[in-house]
Structure 1
């Protein structure tokens, strides 16, 4: 898949297992993704290879509904979802690695292949995705680090 590739990362002051467990659970997406407004499971919980989950989002002033399929799941290391539908087919990858002092480095990568009119706006979309991803990762960090201090 070529086209748009946006990769962002953050260090979260929580152990890798906790970060991966929270981030890879689609039910938590509305808490840390600013643009995701609703999650609808199309298969049974929990997420596993082959699981299908619809995300209803608002992005660049448009309402988008994407049904992702989990295509790779390596607990505490990597989680990959992919959709082939819509004007902007997308693959989303989360990767977690240990960082110093029991922290976790999380990488969020979105790869998409715009088609039709969407192809023209790909550079603008890339910048908007990067801003949104950075905001979402910061929100995830705040949620997980606040949960740790409230224990």
Structure 2
């Protein structure tokens, strides 16, 4: 069974700012609740071929995995695939302008569970969907709050 979860939100910030913040792996712990740490395996900045190791807590388990960026069009799209880890996964972000100073961001997770993961795939999809909704809500709140506090807090 394939897991394919698509989640989106509308953020009241310009696309360039949302994309620059969300596409920077160093910012991930600020808006992904389950991510505990980020470690660059290649030199910064993010680009096709970059490899980033993450440690997360998901469904009560510690997960360590490495993503490789396979597509990157700054301000439009970023796709990452697990290069190492317990569950082969592809994560993609897309950003689209949606009215004056607003951005529609989509977060998609796709994967083909194997072994034990295959048995819990239906539950996993629901858990990923719930986590993604919370994470995008956190990102939205963070970016919109920074706009109210200091318009220059999140740079292009």
With normalisation by structure 2, the TM-score equals 0.94
Q: Deviation above 6 Å: which 4+ runs of structure 1?
A: none
Shift of 1:102: 1.6
Q: Which residue of 2 aligns with 1:114?
A: 113
Q: Which residue of 2 aligns with 1:94?
A: 93
CA distance in 1, matches of 2:75, 2:81: 19
Offset from partner CA, 1:65-120 (integer Å, 9 cap, x none): 11000000001000011014333100000000010222000000000110011101
Q: Which segments of 5 or more consecutive residues in structure 2 lack a partner in the other structure?
A: 151-156
CA distance in 1, matches of 2:44, 2:133: 28
Q: Is the 8 A contact 1:15 1:103 kept in 2?
A: yes
Number of residue equivalences: 150
The alignment yields a C-alpha RMSD, in angstroms, of 0.9
With normalisation by structure 1, the TM-score equals 0.97
Q: Which residue of 1 aligns with 2:80?
A: 81
